[in-house]
Amino acid sequence: MINQDRAIELLVIDSSFDSAESQISTLRNAGMMIHPKRVNNEEDIVSALGSGMHDIVLCSADIDQSEFEKNIALCINSSADVSLVVTYKDQESDPLLNALRLGARDVVSTNDPEHLQLVVKREFSDLQIRRELKRSQQRLREAETRCSTLVEHSRDAIAYIHEGMHVLANPVYLQTFGFIDMEELEGLPILDMIAPEDLPQFKKFLRSGDSTQGELEINCQNSEGNSFKAKLEFSPASIDGEPCTQIIMRNSASSRVLEQKLEQISKHDPQTGLYNRLYFAEKLEENLSSVEFAERPLALLYITIDEFQKLRSEAGIVASDALLLEFANVLNGQVGEKGVLARFGDHSFTILLETDSDAAANLATQLHIAVDTHLFRVERNLFEPRCNIGIALATGNTANSQEFINNAYNACGAARAGSNNGTAYYDAEEMQTQFGGDANETQLNQLIDSALENDRFKLVFQPVVSLQGESREFYAVLTRLLDANGDEILPNQFMGAAVQAGQMVAIDRWVVKQAIKELVTQREKGQKVQFFITLSSESLEDKETLIWICDCLRDHQAKGAWLIFQIREADLRSHLTEAKALLDGLKKIKCQIAVDRYGMLSKSDMLLKHLPIDYVKFDPALVDGISGKQSLQDSLVKLNTETQSHGVKTIVIGVEDANSLAVLWTIGVNYIQGYFLQEPSDSISYEFTST
């Protein structure tokens, strides 16, 4: 792209200081931004050209002819991508013409300053075009290489046809039709691949307008004459600049494998292979809402690895992750088909059983024995993890699945604190719900204060992935509060208490600072990641927020362009004046802005007209069950189109199944985020390019 505002890096080869200064002044008088450098001997000329920093070279001809020819040769033979212009005051025409023959772009008299200005402007513009062309050609070559590699390794059969003849095909196509290599296929007509009974239909298709871009289901035949049904997709292409037609034969078996993989990903934790939290929650709701629930007992076991955070800090992330996998395998070996076993949190697991209290207690005993007797060896290290198990039983008084889980969680906390061999039952009279009621808010506030002082918060990251083919590495930054035992407390369980106690600004600042540190670490590794970071309404009102963010970026040598700050729509609307001041300031330091929970209030687009918004994250209620509700789809189409008309990109969060993904892609949403892609994770390792 041509940049008219960039300064010209000018190299002047001239023995006369006054002459060089005169030329520099001439260019500056024309309003050009230049960074000049004057050189006068061979060593300096070679060094300056070798640096690759210069755009235009003004080489004076008003010196000895042999020295002038030597300077011209140095410029022409240099690998530097520069434009060479010869300047002269009193010189014969032959050396000037020879310089043009060798490759100089122009010759200009120093007595004609306007000519010099016009030539330099033209050459700088041409130089930028040449450089952009070179970059575009390089990108084209890289794209062609990637495309060739994709075609070569595609699971679909792909061929290229020119004037009805095969010119290229990938290995799958060759194998499908029974050919060993391309030499056997090259030059064969596509008609030879069609079953005789369908030749009239295929010829009719070729004569129609759909033959260059369309689909056809037809019977094909291989080299041995065996027929098979195939779906052919035709599209225009080119090979070595010659127009041709690309044919893709979809592999339905591969599609089934892909569907199975998507099913596997949507239900299972990628690290341990166990069911994930989302699937477990679905099964729990399904069991609690079934009509048979009243007639059968349900037990929930909540299991944590004791002092896991301490173990992780001592052994390292790689070793602790390996330990988690081995621990999960031990649990799975004991549970088997008895119940639903899931990885519920970072180092917590849950088991849902259709059983009574005695059977649940027996299983807990078996799990303790299995963990105690198993030899946990990771590389050369031996570990002896201890687990705590909380057991909750569902009764007619169990309000919902969240209460059921909280009961088991609280029982697990009692097991950790008690002297009962690491197992405890939930007792409603002894164990109050840990995160509800005014009585516990003070305890939560004290825990938050301690976490701020001792870094007992934790960041987890969830990828935000493009549906439009981009491979930008976006992550949403989420926060967890760690209790005294290292277990995670989710934001919806502590944020309310933090708001009431005025702790949100401090929490926001902790999150921003740690996120910037992590960004710097990732950038040093070569990962060009960007983070979505939430700011609360309290930070929106705090007049020191912008200055603090600027100081934090400067202290860690980070760039604002790495950050995307997201603020809830309701908070923006209720603090519009403060929001305008903060967001304008953030844009000045190159940060981007996102509106969270967007689209539920009337006239939502008012914010897009008055604030510098880059992204919106639609409220999850707008897409809940969208794959089966046409009314939701119609509403989102309208809202998505309206939002994008303002130049704002759209994001849907909470995507949890493949059906919703397909609908969102059809609607034209820009990005998605959700458990279907990946659960929030400690690591930043999502493969954006494979997506």
DSSP character at residue 268: B
Pick the range with the lowest mean pLDDT from 14-23, 288-297, 504-513. 288-297
Among the listed residues 403, 487, 481, the one whose alpha carbon sits nearest the alpha carbon of residue 446 = 481
Pairing of strands 529-534, 563-568: parallel
C-alpha triplet 259, 263, 264: angle, nearest 5°: 115
Task: Grade residue 492 by pLDDT with cuts at 50, 70 and 90.
Answer: confident
The SS3 assignment for 89 reads coil
Cβ burial of 492 (10 Å; 0-12, 13-18, 19+) is exposed
**Topology of domain 154-250, CATH:** Beta-Lactamase (3.30.450)
Q: Which of 143, 189, 149, 145 is nearest to 166 (CA)?
A: 189
- CB atoms < 10 A from the CB of 366, how many? 14
Q: Is 681 helix (H, G, I), strand (E, B) or coil?
A: strand
Question: What is the total residue count of the chain?
Answer: 691
DSSP assignment of 9-76, as one string?
A: EEEEE-S-HHHHHHHHHHHHHTT--EEEEEE-SHHHHHHHHHTT--SEEEEE--S-HHHHHHHHHHHH
The residue type at 461: F
Domain ranges, ordered by start, for the chain:
8-136, 154-250, 268-434, 457-673
For 89, other C-beta atoms within 10 Å of its C-beta total: 12
CA distance 433 to 435: 6
Indicate the pLDDT class of residue 440, thresholds 50, 70 and 90: low
Flag whether pLDDT at 335 surpasses 80: yes
- Residue 575: helix, strand or coil by DSSP? coil
C-alpha span between 327 and 304 (Å, rounded): 10
Amino acid at 174: L
Percent of the chain with pLDDT over 70: 92
**Class (C level, CATH) for 8-136:** alpha beta
DSSP state of 7: P
Residue 438: pLDDT over 50: no
pLDDT greater at residue 413 or residue 264: 413
Computed over every residue of the chain, the mean pLDDT equals 85
Tell me the C-alpha distance between 303 and 328, whole Å.
Answer: 11
* pLDDT tens digits along 523-560: 998 888 999 999 999 999 898 999 999 999 999 999 99
Distance of CA 493 to the CA centre of its chain: 28
Q: Tell me, which fold does domain 457-673 have in CATH?
A: TIM Barrel (3.20.20)
Q: How far apart are the first and last CA of the chain?
A: 28
3-state class (DSSP) for residue 335:
helix
Of 461, 463, 408, 454, whose CA–CA distance to 431 is shortest?
408
Provide φ and ψ at 668, rounded to 5°: 100, 20
| Over residues 294-307, mean pLDDT | 83
Does 268-434 carry CATH code 3.30.70.270? yes
Q: What is the pTM of this model?
A: 0.48
Distance CA 175, CA 404 (A): 55
Check pLDDT > 90 for residue 519.
Answer: yes
Reduced to 3 states (helix: H, G, I; strand: E, B; else coil), residue 488 is strand
Q: Name residue 433's amino acid.
A: T
- Per-residue CA distances from 561 to 344, 519, 530, 586, 683 (Å): 34, 11, 8, 10, 22
Chain segment 588-599, per-residue pLDDT in tens: 999 999 999 998
CA distance 6 to 56: 13
